[in-house]
Structure 1
């Protein structure tokens, strides 16, 4: 068995879809005997995890599975190995950088909280 890194893509549609198109790209680990099996397994995950619900404004929100857009065989799990890279083009560099810092602070806060729960 080998490990594969797959990118599963969903389209997020709110209401009638009269908004800027949104897509969620999820990186998932898949264990399989070969590439074809890994691809089929990733597609099955994507299809099974499609979802529909109503948001706070009572609009229907759909997470519609599009497909598996990337699949990479991982030869080894090595500390610090790059698994994925994506270039983001932001409208405002300052806002994007602030968002990255806020996400990092949230992670740091949760780690500290979990550590304190041990005591």
Structure 2
């Protein structure tokens, strides 16, 4: 068996759907014999994790499975193994770095 990271994409639709499109990209760890089986398992996870509920404003919310966008093999499971990467181009590098520092600070685990 081999380990894979799968990116599963859902669309989030609230109320009548007249809002900016929202998508949830989830990275899931998959144990499979090969890439095809990993894709099938990730697809099943996506289908099984679709959800409909009422939000706190009594509006319907749907999480609709879109597809499995990526399957990446993991060659090594050890401390510091890279699971995923994405190169992001930002029009304002200072703003992007400030965002990254802000997100880090929200984790609340720094020893200052």
- 5 Å-filtered alignment, 1:1-119, equals 1-86=1-86, 87=88, 89=90, 94=95, 97=97, 99-109=99-109
TM-score in terms of structure 2 length: 0.82
Distance 1:78 1:23, change over 3 A: same
Structural RMSD (CA)? 2.5
Please list every run of at least 4 consecutive aligned residues from structure 1 whose deviation after the TM superposition is greater than 6 angstroms: none
Q: Which structure 2 segments of 5+ residues have no match?
A: none
TM-score in terms of structure 1 length: 0.77
Summarize deviations over 1:72-112 as a string: whole Å, max 9, x none.
11111243333222226578964x55553343234334x99
Q: Which structure 1 segments of 5+ residues have no match?
A: 113-119
Report the structure, 1 or 2, having the larger helix content.
1
Structure 1 CA distance for aligned equivalents of residues 9 and 43 of structure 2: 10
